[in-house]
Chain A
Amino acid sequence: METIVHTFPPYREHEATHEHETHGHHEDIGFARKYIFSTDHKIIGIQYGFTALCFMLFGFFLMLMMRWQMAHPGSPVPVVGPLLAGVLGQPAANGVMSPELYNSFGAMHGTIMVFLAIVPLAFAAFGNYVVPLMIGAPDMAFPRVNMASYQAYVLGGIVMLVSFFIPGGAAQAGWTSYSPLATSIPTDGQLFWIIGMVLLISSSLLGAVNFIATIIQLRAPGMTWMRLPFFVWAQFVTAFLLLLAFPPLEAAAVMQLMDNVLHTSFFLPTGLAVGGQLAHVSGGGSPLLWQHLFWFLGHPEVYVLILPGMGIVCEIIANNTRKPIWGYKSLVYSVLAIGFLSFIVWAHHMYLTGMGTKISAFFQATTMIISIPSVIILTCLFISLWGGSIRFNTPMLFALAFLPMFGIGGLTGLPLGFNASDVYLHDTYYVIAHFHYVVAPGTIFALFAGIYYWFPKMTGRMMNEFWGRVHFWGSLVFMNLVFMPMFAQGIKGMLRRMADGGANYSAARATGAIDTLPGSIMGLHTWILWAAMALGIAQIPFILNLFWSINHGERVKNDNPWEATTLDWQAPTPPPHGNFAEPPQIYRGPYEYSVPGHAADFTPQNEPARPATPALSTAH
């Protein structure tokens, strides 16, 4: 074999042209190559982040319109009603949302929020921007694959958006797309959904391969596994979940595509009747097969949504308590345990399908077991607060709010994990409240925290602290006002996916009968509608703050405004192509805050044990 002597890592960049690294790009490569076909992980991260935030806002508006329809079934949607009628035609005649349109908005709200907003923002945007910086790498392992991953994501998003405007509108079978419903609806929306999903799955697949390879291969010298910041661990496990859980859904999507286009019967049983008529299918398929394949992705996907958020919160809490995170190793092993266990809990979404009691018991047991590492992570983060001199800045406020909000989301999941209580709660608003508490005030708060936290590194300016706080308190209050009432609605028996918010369901029964939804429960729809609107208004300070601060925010005093220990803050601001002025060397763990005997209350990971070679300290 070859005997190659190579430097570690073999940079060649700063030999010539890059004398003034800190000022960013010097090459004149044109707008398209710099911002659209960029292979720089930081640009790609920002592209992902911006696109995902746009989709998140879009998904939010879909939800607002649905909330209006539920609170005021059959009355025209105010403000955007005429626009809906003009653009979508019949399904929104006179600006009133038809049940079909409600169904398609519901399906697309879920799809967009999960696959086009949260995952790209949490995993791809933050992962792309932060992970290579944190491990001391010049870029991702496969920069061009990285670009292809973003392009596949955009293409998938476009397919999803276009499907709103085709005859019959977008997919209507829920974000879960259960067969045979998804095959029986006679429009092309589902076809677009499947093609869009195949593109999105390919995008995450490429991203996942890239992240894992980067973390394994491109860690800077001295960056051992147990010196990785917890955020990197969280992204590492998330990437494995995407890598291994998404392909079964891709297989399922291919089979549903065959069902819809070539009229196979993978998911269509013998004797299937559609609209009172025996369907023209060969039969012999299994609707349960779709559910198994979907939830085999679906449950790991839940952890894809939450783990990057936990990673972000962990970084911010360590930084703002000015003390080491409590139980770093417990966090790492817990996140690995979650990653493994998340593959064997999926059928707790399927207790009502008649799988049999033994299988239910198995999945009930694994579901309870997976709550243990989740609780360990949350507990470690709570204990980390103990005795810290906490700085209450905007990122920290969001990170702190994440803890109880995710706590509510997680604990209300326990009754759903138990077979017996799930039979009652299944498919009610209780479920909606539960997973929205995990994802909305949970993950999204963590993402907000991350945006406020890393914004100075991306732009060299701080976001406005006052408006950050306005955004925080508005979001916290109204998030809870939106989702807390849904627990009550669900416990009283209000079902999901009813286009009129349950008005007919309620009216059909005798007054005072045990399963009638009381007026007080129905009235909560109006309450939630107003809270949701207020939640939307509370985001305005954030949007303005985000754009205004790019050019007008307060300039950072140095590369490390939060006085953090991790490598991302030791790089120039904003980091140039190739990231570090000099290849970093790592000497210590990620959270060495307030080390006794040190002058500063933080010790960067690349600060040597005895500062004999000051050239390596690039921070100041």
Chain B
Amino acid sequence: MEIPYAVYPRPDTGIYNAKVGIWLFLASEVMLFGALFSAYVLLRVGAPPGEWPHGWLNVTLGTINTLVLATSAITTLMAWVSCKTRQFGKFKFFHACTLLLALTFLCIKAYEYHDKWIHYEIRLADGRIADGHLRASDADSVTIEGRYVTDEKDLYDLRAQKNIQTGEIKIPRAQIKQMENYGPWHNTYLALYFTLTGLHALHILGGSIVIGYLWGPGRKLWKTDPEHFTNRIEVSGLFWHFVDLVWIFLFPVLYLT
């Protein structure tokens, strides 16, 4: 038994099955990320005035990652075009590029995560706050590369502060009242940052696995049924474009505002 319209479009709908499937799936993904963005809006609007962080993320890295994903969108499209024009060599080249770009994105993202992971806010017994990246720690003291602030409000809006002076600070353990890194538990902004970008990174990872499969073991199908294979490239490409699009929303929402 064979399912009708698995490869060629149904005449009256003009579309093959998997394409209907992926568009429906993407509709549900829109609702998934839509709910998360709604949560972002609601929590940000509900935050007390002046307490929403600004400028906490590295805009340069974010921009690079945006360009990386934008380029990968182009290579994905070219991979599909190469299949359509039956140039399998070009397909292999373009999708290798896509995979490398995806890997680049994930590496940069991992670096950014790590940067937050080692970033500590240390509340001292004298009421000051030491804030910076952990350099060393032992039983007696903690060393960070950062600065002291007296008012925690100074930590929220980093865009307004030009030329922040940082230096190496050694803090005896006895002075530390509370020490917490910039993980998702730190505040609502970081919770949103890690959840949204984490879920997005999982989508990148999932998409890479599928594209990697089609580029590697899945390419056998090309020999027997190139049209079917081309459909798979198209469908996975649609997913990839959606994941890119999500990033186009994430970047301004988290990095630029």
Taking beta carbons and an 8 Å cutoff, which residues of A are in contact with B?
2, 4, 6, 8-13, 137-143, 145, 205, 208-210, 212-213, 216-218, 243-248, 250-252, 254-255, 258, 262-266, 282-286, 288-289, 292-293, 296, 577-578
Contacts and interface: CB of A to CB of B under 8 A. Distances in A.
Task: Name which of B3, B46, B195 has the most chain A CB atoms within 10 A of its CB.
Answer: B3
A286 B38 CA distance: 12
Contacts of A13: 1-2
Report the 5 A-B pairs with minimum CB-CB distance, sorted nearest first: A9-B4, A264-B191, A248-B35, A251-B35, A247-B32
Interface stretch (B165-173, B182-190, B239-247): B182-190
A242 to B, nearest CB: 9
B31 interface: yes
Interface stretch (B18-26, B56-64, B94-102, B129-137): B18-26
Contact of B13 (A216, A246, A264, A266): A216
Task: Name which of A11, A13, A141, A217 has the most chain B CB atoms within 10 A of its CB.
Answer: A217
Given A254-B199, A265-B191, A217 B2 contact: no
Given A6-B8, A217-B10, A254-B199, A138 B185 contact: no
B17 A141 contact: yes
A274 B88 CA distance: 62
Contacts of B188: 264-266, 282-285
Contacts of B38: 248, 292-293
B27 interface: yes
Contacts, number: 155
B222 to A, nearest CB: 16
B66 to A, nearest CB: 23
Given A205-B28, A263-B185, A289-B43, A254 B195 contact: yes
Contacts of A139: 1, 3
A266 B43 contact: yes
Contacts of B27: 243-244
Given A243-B27, A243-B31, 15 more contacts: A2-B227, A9-B4, A10-B2, A140-B3, A209-B28, A212-B24, A213-B17, A213-B21, A247-B28, A247-B31, A255-B195, A262-B191, A265-B188, A266-B39, A266-B188
B145 interface: no
Task: Name which of A141, A143, A245, A263 has the most chain B CB atoms within 10 A of its CB.
Answer: A141
A135 to B, nearest CB: 11
B75 to A, nearest CB: 24
B191 A258 contact: yes
A245 B36 CA distance: 13
Contacts of B36: 251, 254-255
Contacts of A4: 8
8 contacts: A2-B8, A138-B3, A141-B5, A248-B35, A258-B184, A262-B194, A282-B187, A296-B35
B42 to A, nearest CB: 5
Contacts of A244: 27-28, 31
B213 to A, nearest CB: 15
Interface residues of B, number: 45
B238 to A, nearest CB: 13
B35 A282 contact: no
B20 A250 contact: no
Nearest to B37: A251
Contact of B195 (A213, A264, A284): A264
Interface in B36-75: 36, 38-39, 42-43, 46-47, 51
Contacts of A296: 35
A142 B3 CA distance: 8
B72 to A, nearest CB: 25
Contacts of A210: 21
Given A13-B1, A141-B3, A293 B21 contact: no
Contact of B25 (A209, A218, A248): A209
Interface string B98-113: 0000000000000000
B185 A262 contact: yes
A248 B20 contact: no
A537 B190 CA distance: 55
A141 B21 contact: yes
B1 A577 contact: yes
Contact of B17 (A142, A250, A283): A142
Nearest to B46: A286
B218 interface: no
Nearest to A281: B185
Contacts of A247: 28-29, 31-32, 34-35
B4 A138 contact: yes
Interface of B: 1-6, 8, 10-11, 13, 15-18, 20-21, 24-25, 27-29, 31-36, 38-39, 42-43, 46-47, 51, 183-188, 191, 194-195, 199, 227
A384 B39 CA distance: 46
B1 A10 contact: no
B43 A209 contact: no
Given A9-B4, A284-B47, A246 B28 contact: yes
A265 B195 CA distance: 12
Nearest to A264: B191
A496 B184 CA distance: 36
B29 to A, nearest CB: 7
A248 B31 contact: yes
Nearest to B189: A284
A587 B194 CA distance: 56
B158 to A, nearest CB: 19
Contacts of B33: 251
Contacts of A243: 24, 27-28, 31
A248 B42 CA distance: 14
A300 to B, nearest CB: 11
Task: Name which of A208, A213, A285, A293 has the most chain B CB atoms within 10 A of its CB.
Answer: A213
A145 B227 CA distance: 21
Contact of A216 (B3, B20, B32, B187): B20
A141 B24 CA distance: 13
Contacts of B199: 254
A285 B43 contact: yes
A245 to B, nearest CB: 8
A141 to B, nearest CB: 5
A147 to B, nearest CB: 14
Contacts of A216: 13, 20
A148 to B, nearest CB: 13
Task: Name which of B27, B43, B191 has the most chain A CB atoms within 10 A of its CB.
Answer: B191
A70 B2 CA distance: 56
A262 B10 CA distance: 48
A340 to B, nearest CB: 15
Given A141-B17, A209-B21, A243-B24, A12 B39 contact: no
A246 B32 CA distance: 8
Given A143-B3, A254-B195, A264-B185, A217 B39 contact: no
Nearest to A224: B12
B113 to A, nearest CB: 13
A218 B21 contact: no
B32 A217 contact: no
A232 to B, nearest CB: 16
Task: Name which of A2, A210, A282 has the most chain B CB atoms within 10 A of its CB.
Answer: A282
Nearest to A9: B4
